[in-house]
Structure 1
Amino acid sequence: MFKLNFYYFWFLSLLIFSLLFLYFGLYFIYYNYSFFFELNLLSLNSLSLCYLIYLDWMSMLFCFVVFFISSMVLIYSSVYMGYNSYSSIRFLYLILLFILSMVLMILSPNLISILLGWDGLGIVSYCLVIYYQSNSSFLSGMLTCLSNRLGDIGLLIMICWLFSYGSWHFIFYTSFYNSYIFYVIFISSFTKSAQIPFSCWLPAAMAAPTPVSSLVHSSTLVTAGVYMLIRFYNVINYMNSYFLLMSLITMLISSFCANYEFDLKSIIALSTLSQLGLMMSSLFLGMLNLSYFHLVSHAMFKSLLFLCAGIFIFYMNDNQDIRFMGSICLLMPYTSSCFNISNLALCGIPFLSGFYSKDMIIECSVYTNLNLLTFILYYVSLGLTCMYTFRLFYYTMIFNVKFSNFYFCMDSFSFMKFSIFLLTLMSMFFGCLFTWLMGFTLTFILLPFFIKLMSLMFISIGLVMGYDTLNFSYLFNLNYYYFNSMMWFMYFHSFYFYNFFFIFMYKSVMMLSWGEYYGAYGVSYYVYNLSNFFQFYFINNISIFMFTFFVWFLLMV
């Protein structure tokens, strides 16, 4: 029981911190304040090492969201990880390190300290993804870590580049930077926020425990890239049609793939990917505040969705397949209602949290100079979101299950239920409260009647299509479904390419023999011999070194 007291202590601490950040965030909005702190860590002769903290309403409200969701995840984890795990303290400290890295990234206006938080997120996320230490989690962790390292390379290039501007305090210089610097930042943020072509790590990161998935996919790791783009915002460089198209394709493909998945956590991960595409596309259309608004409102209902999914998995013998979960609403009505509220918020059903940000982004996007393709992609993605949401609802709530034993299912009060209760309240009311707070209600959007109703119409079409697809028979070849469920081969691309070439080479005897001689087998033979030669060379006497040096010297002369 001593172990779990740490969870309670950190839960209370983070909850108090989140309320403090909320209070000061509102205070800063009201008085339009922003503070800049410089902490002198080391002063030695002419060298002074400083750490900078930049506090404004945007960073403080985002800190409130991160701390609030983290506190809910910790109290949830005390039950989910604590009772049946010997390493729950290790898990707790990894989560705390993760939160610390994120806060370092949020509050800093300096690229060096942002790199510290950015790298911290990458390393700790690797430790959390491989927490269960199975083969699949090791592979997923490696994929996550290496994809995030690509973003680190872009950040290091930027740090070197900004030497010529005289300071790493990028927040003052965004209007002076070369446009190529912004391209480096875009690509770095795309790796962290899993946009195409770096999106295969996000469904793979589902190997982590469910509380981690809730934290990673709502307010920390994947939103770090979006938050950094918000901080670097410069309207001239951000109105970029190429990057807009990439984010829209991410939104479309991930929604499409979610319609073919049967793994509960993978469906929610792909929905996170589509929402990240929406945030990115609104940024590249020049809607800074709306992108930030969707960032914080999405964090609330997505963390709730993951935590409810975790309760289903917890009480159903660690089962994640939605085909085994039918009629669960009869046995767990409270958790099911919270799950459905977050699902509806994700769809953008009116007057829930997701509606205010999503609807306003889509309506404001009509005002910008969009072409027809972008316009269609926006609305089709909206319909597809409702499609996979209804499919998820059908399989978990209505579908008559024939496989599983529900003996363990119960809905008694526990800390898991307490955490989802608070997040459900936020999912219902956070959107409208933030709209009033930011003055978005003062924005007057005048649109034709049929365009105004278009988003609601596509939501309805998506729900109907979601119901209709359940009755489809599998008419296509199996490879078609593989193609659509595996992120269009992005996750398993290496296997399919290898398989293709393997079959191609072994079709004929000629290709077999010549392919072996000039292909991988022949190369590996020569590499093996070469490495043996070098090994023999390096363990020999120094006279051989002197002799080869003398030969090279004569050749050079």
Structure 2
Amino acid sequence: MSFFFSIYFMIIDYSLMFEFNVISINSSCVVMSILLDWMSLLFMSFVLFISSMVIFYSEDYMMGDLNMDRFIMLVFMFVLSMMLLIISPNLISILLGWDGLGLVSYCLVIYYQNFKSFNAGMITALSNRIGDVALLMSIAWMLNYGSWNYIYYLDYMKEDYVMILISFLVVLAGMTKSAQIPFSAWLPAAMAAPTPVSSLVHSSTLVTAGVYLLIRFNFCFSNLLMMILLFISSMTMFMAGLGANYEYDLKKIIALSTLSQLGLMMSILSLGEYMLAFFHLLTHALFKALLFMCAGCMIHNLGNHQDIRFMGGLINKLPLTSCFFIISNLSLCGLPFLSGFYSKDLILEISSMSYLNLYIYLVFFLSTGLTVCYTFRLVYYSLVGDFNYNSNYLLSDSSFYMLSGMMGLIFMVIFGGSLLIWIMFPSPYFICLSLFMKLLTLLVTLMGAWIGYQFSKFSLFFSLKSKSFFGSSLFFSSMWNMSFISTFGVNFYPIYLGGLVYKSFDNGWSEYLGSQNIYLNIKSLSIFSQILFNNSLKIFLLMVVIWVSVLMIYLF
């Protein structure tokens, strides 16, 4: 229904807005607003479709779990928070959905209660708190306009100082939620959550919330802010693509792939093409959800092993899952005419047509090449190479619920892109490029595939032979030491300085001039008084003797 309504609203160019007045303070009304336009309805339909498939898939994946009902309720709350965020044109109601996503994601990341999950949950929650605080500050600044319905002020308040400040805070919030540099460390760490949750988080809910917010706010961004965002997002895209080529954890490779695609969405958004960013957001949601589902199926069959070096030859053991996995991977690479191709190819061709400098152009195409590279490396390790698991294995495509959930998505992965491009762009983009530039995207894709295949064959050999290669791979796979900086970088120095302050102030001069020294003085005085009181008779008689002797001296 949501999908068909969105098509209808788009055709007749129609929007609906509902407002419920909650409270009015000094003529500023706190209202609960609901905006139903083609964008929110279309995104909502995608979120509902993917989440229904994921919950269906969870029936089998989480089978045997003692807290199955609690898990399903948490996922439901997660989706509900996302819905609230999508339909809100009001910053206060957006904050409800935004914080709901943050809190429920923490509960889901620490679902398997162990030390690693708790650490991952903490870095996820604390990174997202920065964005929450930025949103709270933008709510406080928006009080200047007398209403929190940001949708009214975006365009004509663009040059206003308050709106510039709000747009800066909103970009900061979007960067934390969508894990751009320097907040990237939480995204691979959040893989500690169960795989159905990862599928939901990385396709259409948590990480896309930041991009969606920026798509809604894009009209009020200044050129300087756009340029800063473009630089940061392009660096994120490149860093994630490079890191995924050195990673061996199946889920982390797909998580870094999400990070790379988020960088792509942000960078095309900061070039002013917000419709293209939204289009890629939707197509990416489809194949990324399926990719995680296939990964969960493999992990489930291999006794919860996530290292791709344990896998290999799975195409013979899990043919249907492997087919889904390969199709969604090819869609991610942008193979013609799968859903990922329509958005990715269009983005690269638009960037080829634009007046961009060499750095941005190179980063766009290099990142695309790296995407294909790590994808083919992953396929080689998991599906094609030698089978490296235990000899007493039992692998099969037997799970009805899991396959049904994946089957529901596979048709959209294949046909979704063409369907969306017909709906969203009724008058198509006019692409005018030379033959070489037109074929450049395809050339980069093929080149990346070849490099990925060669790299996966020889990387292990090099890492054993060459220490420098091993060192560089360690640096790249740790996301340029981002996770180290995000943990030790932000808590080592404050704790160290706190220790110095404690030593010099609390145990130093303030202690000497303050309570401890006063206590010691009073104690020594009271000890002296005690000695006097205990020997009062002796002292009295001694004083009498001294007095008599002094008297005798003065008399004679």
Describe how 1:422-501 pairs up with structure 2 within 5 A.
422-439=408-425, 442-470=428-456, 471-472=458-459, 473-474=462-463, 475-477=466-468, 478-493=470-485
- Corresponding residue for 1:23? 4
Report how far residue 407 of structure 1 moved. 2.5
Question: Which whole-Å CA distance do the structure 2 matches of 1:406 and 1:434 have between them?
Answer: 46
- Which of these residues, 188, 191, 196, is aligned with residue 206 of structure 1? 191
Question: Which whole-Å CA distance do the structure 1 matches of 2:121 and 2:57 have between them?
Answer: 23
- Corresponding residue for 1:161? 141
- Which of these residues, 216, 236, 251, is aligned with residue 231 of structure 1? 216
Question: Which whole-Å CA distance do the structure 2 matches of 1:182 and 1:476 have between them?
Answer: 46
With over 3 angstroms needed to count, the CA separation of the structure-2 counterparts of 1:306 and 1:519, relative to structure 1, is: closer
With over 3 angstroms needed to count, the CA separation of the structure-2 counterparts of 1:238 and 1:293, relative to structure 1, is: farther
- Which of these residues, 96, 101, 108, is aligned with residue 128 of structure 1? 108
Alpha carbons 2:311, 2:388 under 8 Å: kept: no
- Which of these residues, 141, 147, 169, is aligned with residue 121 of structure 2? 141
Q: Tell me if 1:96 matches 2:76.
A: yes
Alpha carbons 2:342, 2:417 under 8 Å: kept: yes
Superposed CA offset, 1:337-394 (max 9, x none)? 0000000000001100000000001111122220011111110101000000000000
- Corresponding residue for 1:374? 360
Alpha carbons 1:37, 1:53 under 8 Å: kept: yes
With over 3 angstroms needed to count, the CA separation of the structure-2 counterparts of 1:424 and 1:45, relative to structure 1, is: same
Report how far residue 439 of structure 1 moved. 2.5
Alpha carbons 2:309, 2:388 under 8 Å: kept: no
With over 3 angstroms needed to count, the CA separation of the structure-2 counterparts of 1:100 and 1:236, relative to structure 1, is: closer
- Which of these residues, 31, 37, 44, is aligned with residue 18 of structure 2? 37
Partner SS state of residue 218, structure 2: coil
With over 3 angstroms needed to count, the CA separation of the structure-2 counterparts of 1:272 and 1:416, relative to structure 1, is: same
With over 3 angstroms needed to count, the CA separation of the structure-2 counterparts of 1:530 and 1:220, relative to structure 1, is: farther
Question: Which whole-Å CA distance do the structure 2 matches of 1:287 and 1:439 have between them?
Answer: 13
Alpha carbons 2:154, 2:220 under 8 Å: kept: no
- Corresponding residue for 1:187? 172
Report how far residue 24 of structure 1 moved. 1.0
Question: Which whole-Å CA distance do the structure 1 matches of 2:328 and 2:54 have between them?
Answer: 16
Report how far residue 38 of structure 1 moved. 1.5
Partner SS state of residue 492, structure 1: helix
With over 3 angstroms needed to count, the CA separation of the structure-2 counterparts of 1:44 and 1:187, relative to structure 1, is: closer
Q: Name which of structure 1's ranges 192-201 and 235-244 shifts more when overlaid on structure 2.
A: 235-244
Q: Is the radius of gyration larger for structure 1 or structure 2?
A: 2
Alpha carbons 2:29, 2:147 under 8 Å: kept: no
Question: Which whole-Å CA distance do the structure 2 matches of 1:532 and 1:410 have between them?
Answer: 70
- Which of these residues, 233, 246, 250, is aligned with residue 260 of structure 1? 246
Superposed CA offset, 1:72-114 (max 9, x none)? 1101111111x21100111111111111111110001100000
Partner SS state of residue 39, structure 1: strand
With over 3 angstroms needed to count, the CA separation of the structure-2 counterparts of 1:254 and 1:91, relative to structure 1, is: same
Q: What is the root-mean-square deviation in Å for CA atoms of aligned residues?
A: 2.8
Partner SS state of residue 217, structure 1: helix
Question: Which whole-Å CA distance do the structure 1 matches of 2:26 and 2:477 have between them?
Answer: 60
Report how far residue 213 of structure 1 moved. 0.4
- Corresponding residue for 1:63? 44
With over 3 angstroms needed to count, the CA separation of the structure-2 counterparts of 1:447 and 1:44, relative to structure 1, is: closer
Describe how 1:257-336 pairs up with structure 2 within 5 A.
257-336=243-322
Q: Name which of structure 1's ranges 439-448 and 225-234 shifts more when overlaid on structure 2.
A: 439-448
- Corresponding residue for 2:32? 51
Question: Which whole-Å CA distance do the structure 2 matches of 1:121 and 1:188 have between them?
Answer: 13
Report how far residue 481 of structure 1 moved. 1.9
With over 3 angstroms needed to count, the CA separation of the structure-2 counterparts of 1:140 and 1:49, relative to structure 1, is: same
Question: Which whole-Å CA distance do the structure 2 matches of 1:164 and 1:45 have between them?
Answer: 12
With over 3 angstroms needed to count, the CA separation of the structure-2 counterparts of 1:440 and 1:294, relative to structure 1, is: farther
Report how far residue 406 of structure 1 moved. 6.1
Partner SS state of residue 368, structure 2: helix
Partner SS state of residue 147, structure 2: coil
Q: Which runs of 5+ in 2 are unaligned?
A: 517-521, 523-556
Report how far residue 237 of structure 1 moved. 2.0
Alpha carbons 1:345, 1:352 under 8 Å: kept: yes
With over 3 angstroms needed to count, the CA separation of the structure-2 counterparts of 1:476 and 1:450, relative to structure 1, is: farther
With over 3 angstroms needed to count, the CA separation of the structure-2 counterparts of 1:522 and 1:162, relative to structure 1, is: closer
Alpha carbons 2:30, 2:148 under 8 Å: kept: no
Question: Which whole-Å CA distance do the structure 1 matches of 2:261 and 2:148 have between them?
Answer: 31
Alpha carbons 1:101, 1:117 under 8 Å: kept: yes
With over 3 angstroms needed to count, the CA separation of the structure-2 counterparts of 1:274 and 1:46, relative to structure 1, is: closer
Identity %: 50
Superposed CA offset, 1:390-417 (max 9, x none)? 0000001111023434633111251100
Alpha carbons 1:352, 1:428 under 8 Å: kept: yes
Q: Name which of structure 1's ranges 103-112 and 437-446 shifts more when overlaid on structure 2.
A: 437-446
Report how far residue 245 of structure 1 moved. 1.2
Superposed CA offset, 1:115-138 (max 9, x none)? 111011101000000000100000
Question: Which whole-Å CA distance do the structure 2 matches of 1:363 and 1:302 have between them?
Answer: 23
Report how far residue 27 of structure 1 moved. 1.4
Report how far residue 193 of structure 1 moved. 0.3
Alpha carbons 1:347, 1:389 under 8 Å: kept: yes
- Corresponding residue for 2:544? none
Superposed CA offset, 1:278-321 (max 9, x none)? 00001011111111000011000000000000000111100101
Q: Name which of structure 1's ranges 210-219 and 366-375 shifts more when overlaid on structure 2.
A: 366-375
Report how far residue 443 of structure 1 moved. 1.9
Q: Tell me if 1:111 matches 2:91.
A: yes
Partner amino acid, structure 1, of 2:484? F
Question: Which whole-Å CA distance do the structure 2 matches of 1:48 and 1:258 have between them?
Answer: 48
Question: Which whole-Å CA distance do the structure 2 matches of 1:521 and 1:89 have between them?
Answer: 46
- Corresponding residue for 1:5? none
Question: Which whole-Å CA distance do the structure 2 matches of 1:291 and 1:410 have between them?
Answer: 38
Describe how 1:535-550 pairs up with structure 2 within 5 A.
none
Report how far residue 26 of structure 1 moved. 1.3
Question: Which whole-Å CA distance do the structure 1 matches of 2:487 and 2:153 have between them?
Answer: 45
TM-score, scaled relative to structure 2: 0.85
Question: Which whole-Å CA distance do the structure 2 matches of 1:27 and 1:461 have between them?
Answer: 42
Question: Which whole-Å CA distance do the structure 2 matches of 1:344 and 1:383 have between them?
Answer: 13
Question: Which whole-Å CA distance do the structure 2 matches of 1:277 and 1:122 have between them?
Answer: 21
Partner SS state of residue 206, structure 1: helix
Report how far residue 215 of structure 1 moved. 0.4
Question: Which whole-Å CA distance do the structure 2 matches of 1:62 and 1:326 have between them?
Answer: 36
Alpha carbons 2:27, 2:146 under 8 Å: kept: no
Q: Name which of structure 1's ranges 322-331 and 398-407 shifts more when overlaid on structure 2.
A: 398-407
Alpha carbons 1:235, 1:286 under 8 Å: kept: no
Partner SS state of residue 453, structure 1: helix
Partner amino acid, structure 1, of 2:363? L
**Structure 1 runs of 4+ off > 4 angstroms?**
40-49, 494-498, 518-534
- Corresponding residue for 1:222? 207
Alpha carbons 1:347, 1:354 under 8 Å: kept: yes
- Corresponding residue for 2:548? none
Superposed CA offset, 1:194-241 (max 9, x none)? 001111100000000000000011100000000001111217626722
Question: Which whole-Å CA distance do the structure 1 matches of 2:352 and 2:2 have between them?
Answer: 35
Partner SS state of residue 54, structure 1: strand
TM-score, scaled relative to structure 1: 0.85
Report how far residue 183 of structure 1 moved. 1.6
